[in-house]
Amino acid sequence: MSSILTRRAFLSGAGLLLAGGPVAASNVPFVRPRLRPDLSSPEAAAMLVRGFGLRGQTACAVVDVDTGRPLENVNGDLALPPASVAKALTALYALEALGPAHRFATQLLARGEITNGVLEGDLILAGGGDPVMDTDDLAQLAADLKDSGLRELRGRFIVWDGALPFVSTIDSGQPPHVGYAPSVSGIALNFNRVHFEWVRGASGYTVTMDARTQLYRPDVSVATMQVAPRNTPIYSYARDRGVDRWSVAQGALGQGGARWLPVRAPGAYAGDVFRTLARSHGIVLPVAEVTRGARPVGTVLAQHDSAPLAEILRGMLRFSTNLTAEMVGMAATTALTGRPGSLGASAQAMSAWARSRYGVQAVDLVDHSGLGAQSRITADALSRILASAGRAKGLEPLLRGFSVNEQGKAPAGFEVAAKTGTLNFVSGLGGFVTPPDGPTLAFAVFSADLDSRAGLGPDQRERPPGARSWNSRARSLQRALLRRWGQVYTS
């Protein structure tokens, strides 16, 4: 005779067991637990995972931060994609390599003499790997350029974006129009995205492509949009004569709207926008020439310094910005071992650093953001890394608070600071949990249905059927595990 254990029945019974009360429900099937079960045993945690019936594989691990002692491990040696939880490791990597006070500098350099406001040589916009520079920052650089006394350029206008390797897209498996997978180089503007807006009028659609911020809205010439008389595909893209040429299906537009599209030539984009901003100050610049050779040398006319790295990382972890992760990750590799040859090489350098620095083995990442589903890490490895880093490395204060209740209200005295990670049929969570009157715990939870993910066609990758509900159930499992740990490990 066997009983069928439903998710609701299991959670109801487990909740009463954890509270110390009896299990009594006349119409709810349940599996009778063994007498006085040890709720802190891996078997109990595994039972909770199985009770959710989440398709695919799930792994979790918990480590006491103060003692370094592993407390729970369910499939902890199973290597799964971390998704954006990888950004927590990237933050540790960058903090160690660069330091929390590090600032990225973007400079305007003059190569030649300035006489009576005229530069006879070249003007260079030199990127310094700043992942969060926006149009407002470029506008201030243009104003500073005018204040330097420059009025006329008779040489070339050059954009240097060679501080970091050029990457055409963070993950080639993503749809071409998603703004979270732009190109990467040593210069970035508005997270390397261009703003596309459309409004329907009496004679058709009016479209704009600009680099807007709260203060400015300069149009761009390095990206164009055409409304095409079709229903699908919604977007098509081609790179033609140095321009990102987009088209959009008229049948998908409605009355109006807007979205951010990725930029495939970051240096040309920054140069295009800077020309417009400089022109507003009476300084006419030729079309930018982009170079990626050795860092150019010249007299500094103006400089923009980014916010401190710790502030940048806090934003990266809160909003899960992939571009920031890739740029700070490659900057960290450059500082530790020299400029990497590619994004993949930098990710491998970070993986090797994690294995050596923290004495773990199962870390094999293909990028710094977690966007690439080929990355692998075990829950055991990440929880050990987090426990070893603890508060000393400055990661925990940068992580967001995380609610363990479905309704969004955490119990009094229960604190969770964590990084989430989501891909289609992949969900992860890693960070720190402090139960009421209990020790701080480092944890990692990874779930993945790789078979369902592998079966997605190119046209399904942005909104695949079934992925939303699967990911929702995975997040519910994560919260259930956190509630369990909060009860089991309370002093």
**Tens digit of pLDDT for each residue in 266-294?**
999 999 999 999 999 999 999 999 999 99
Say if 400 falls within a structural domain: yes
Residues 283 and 316 in one domain: no
pLDDT score of 464: 78
Asked whether residue 42 is assigned to any structural domain, the reply reads: no
What average pLDDT does range 183-198 have in this prediction?
A: 98
Q: Answer yes or no: is 339 within a domain.
A: yes
Angle between helices 309-319 and 322-337 (to 10 degrees): 140
Q: What is the dihedral of CA 345, 351, 353, 356, to 10 degrees?
A: -130
pLDDT band of 338, cuts 50, 70, 90: very high
Confidence of residue 395 (pLDDT cuts 50, 70, 90): very high
459 shares its domain with 416: yes
User: Which of these three, 305, 336, 355, is where a domain ends?
Assistant: 305
Q: Are residues 141 and 264 in the same domain?
A: yes
Average of pLDDT values for 109-128? 96
**CB under 8 Å to 356, separation ≥6 — which residues?**
none
Query: Do 18 and 138 sit in the same domain of this protein?
Result: no
Same domain, 333 and 402: yes
105: pLDDT confidence band, cut at 50, 70 and 90?
very high
Query: Are residues 278 and 381 part of one domain?
Result: no
Residue after which a domain boundary falls, among 278, 305, 332: 305
pLDDT at position 12 over 60: no
Of how many residues is the chain composed? 491
Confidence of residue 38 (pLDDT cuts 50, 70, 90): low
Is 424 within a domain? yes
**Quick one: 337 and 448 in the same domain?**
yes
Q: Is it the case that residue 261 has pLDDT exceeding 60?
A: yes
Strands 118-119 and 152-153: parallel
Number of domains in the chain: 3
Task: Please tell me whether residues 220 and 367 are part of one structural domain.
Answer: no
Using alpha carbons, select from 441, 411, 445, 413 the residue that is nearest to residue 428.
Answer: 445
Q: For residue 43, tell me if it sits in a domain.
A: no
CATH number at residue 149: 3.50.80.20
Chain center to CA of 133: 16
pLDDT at 431: 96
CA distance linking residue 316 with residue 399, whole number of Å = 10
Q: Does residue 120 register a pLDDT over 80?
A: yes
Query: Is 187 domain-assigned?
Result: yes
Examine the domain organization and report whether 280 and 365 are in the same domain: no
Is the per-residue pLDDT at 411 higher than 70? no
The pair of three-digit structure tokens given for residue 100, joined into one six-digit string: 């929390």
Q: Looking at the structure, do residues 159 and 206 belong to the same domain, yes or no?
A: yes
pLDDT above 90 for 237: yes
Q: Which of 148, 110, 83 is CA-nearest to residue 450?
A: 83
Q: Which of 256, 285, 305 is the last residue of a domain?
A: 305
Looking up residue 474, the CATH number of its domain turns out to be 3.40.710.10
φ, ψ of residue 156 to 5 degrees: the values are: -95, 155
pLDDT value of residue 41? 62
* Residue in this structure with the two tokens 């903090």, named with its chain if needed: 95
461 — pLDDT class (breaks 50, 70, 90): low
Using only C-alpha atoms, the chain has a radius of gyration, in whole angstroms, of 26
Q: Is the pLDDT of residue 436 over 90?
A: no
Separation CA 19–CA 88 (nearest Å): 33
* 199 assigned to some structural domain: yes
Same domain? For 301 and 314 the reply is no
In this predicted structure, the answer to whether residue 406 has a pLDDT above a threshold of 90 is no
Of 38, 36, 8, 40, nearest to 22 by C-alpha is 36
Mean pLDDT in residue range 132-141? 98
Rounded to two decimals, what is the model's pTM? 0.89
Whether residue 259 lies inside any domain: the answer is: yes
Contact 181, 371 (CB under 8 A): yes
Q: Are strands 223-228 and 70-74 parallel, antiparallel or unpaired?
A: unpaired
Residue-level pLDDT at 392: 72
pLDDT at 412: 61
Query: What does residue 461 show for φ and ψ, rounded to 5 degrees?
Result: -75, -20
**476 falls in which pLDDT band (50, 70, 90)?**
very high
The pLDDT of residue 409: 53
pLDDT at 486: 85
φ and ψ of 15, to 5 deg: -60, -40
Given pLDDT bands bounded at 50, 70 and 90, which one contains residue 402?
confident
Average pLDDT value for residue range 327-331: 98
Give the residue numbers spanning the domain of 13: 1-37
Q: Which of 401, 349, 364 is nearest to 93 (CA)?
A: 349
Alpha carbons 80 and 426: distance in angstroms, whole number:
9
Q: Quick one: pLDDT at residue 42? A: 61
Q: Is the pLDDT of residue 16 over 60?
A: no
* pLDDT band at residue 20 using 50, 70 and 90 as cut-offs: very low
Report the alpha-carbon distance of residue 378 to residue 368 in Å, rounded: 16
Question: What is the average pLDDT across 318-342?
Answer: 97
**pLDDT, average across residues 389-395:** 81
Residues 136 and 205 in one domain: yes
Least confident of 12-16, 103-107, 309-313: 12-16
Average model confidence (pLDDT) for the chain? 89
